[in-house]
Amino acid sequence: MDNRNYVLTAKRVTGGYGGNPVLFDVDFGVKAGEILGIIGPNGSGKSTLLRVLSGVIVPSPGCVELNGQALSAIRMERLARELAVVSQHHPATDMTVAEFVALGRTPYWRRFQFFETPKDREAVDKALLATGTEKFRERLLSRMSGGERQLVFIARALAQQPLILLLDEPTTYLDITHQAQVLDLIRKLNKEAGITVVMILHDLNIAAEYCQRLLLLDGGRVCQLGLPEDVLTYEIIERVYKTVVLVKRNPVSLKPCVFLVPEEKRGAHA
């Protein structure tokens, strides 16, 4: 495999929880500056893969490399300054937005530092501005809507000033407005700040629209990796998702579009 331009590489990763592996021989690379979407049916190991990529789960056998260096050899603090994760779990907390985003500066705190430095404050301000959550500074996190909260989570990840952003289903519980907001933000960060993005998405159309490449997982194995139009063919989708679909091209963006075919209409489809 060509190692040039790969910021994050998974090398023959097998791993999971306890003694039960969920991923088998996963091998791929994330190009610098790209948006990679991870898709696949429920239980295919997407979240597990994200955890392996972020270093929380250690694969055996196999390893993950960040810019050529094995994750296990990198100190957690240093890793957190290059790689930030926005997970699905929403922690219960009574912090304000500003306090929560400031936590993103944790990897930069020195040994006996107890309060934020001006540099920290600056990073927090930038993160809030970039995500458009500046006006929510003093709002309690628990009193915000799901969409606004998601933006705040991204802001916290941005405060880490990472080179790579990993997101686990960032749009799953959001309405269309907020979905668009979050996705446009991600695209902007990728274009303007050059942040590499790896995100797990459930919605195949969103994945096709916003990701430059797609990684399709099936049963813990890499099924397909490539451009959306190469991955989202109806043969592949029907095989992996075991359901009948119709794939057409989006007339505006020319990306593939996947349509569900309800049971009663299945005869009509060729």
Binding site for another protein (CB under 8 A): 51, 54-56, 75-81, 84-85, 87, 89, 91, 93-96, 98-99, 102-104, 106-107, 109, 111-112, 114-116, 121, 124, 137-138, 160
CA–CA distance, 242 with 219 (Å, rounded to integer): 13
> Please, which residue, 36 or 101, has the CB nearer to another protein?
101
Burial label, 55 (beta-carbon count in 10 A; 0-12, 13-18, 19+): middle
> Please, which residue, 113 or 250, has the CB nearer to another protein?
113
> Please, which residue, 77 or 230, has the CB nearer to another protein?
77
CA–CA distance, 39 with 169 (Å, rounded to integer): 10
> What's the min distance (Å) between Cβ of 107 and another protein?
4
CA–CA distance, 234 with 259 (Å, rounded to integer): 10
> What's the min distance (Å) between Cβ of 143 and another protein?
15
> What's the min distance (Å) between Cβ of 141 and another protein?
10
> Please, which residue, 14 or 96, has the CB nearer to another protein?
96
> What's the min distance (Å) between Cβ of 104 and another protein?
7
> What's the min distance (Å) between Cβ of 132 and another protein?
18
> Please, which residue, 115 or 235, has the CB nearer to another protein?
115
Report yes or no: 212 and 35 within 8 Å, Cβ to Cβ: yes
> Please, which residue, 116 or 238, has the CB nearer to another protein?
116
What count of residues does the chain have? 270
> What's the min distance (Å) between Cβ of 250 and another protein?
34
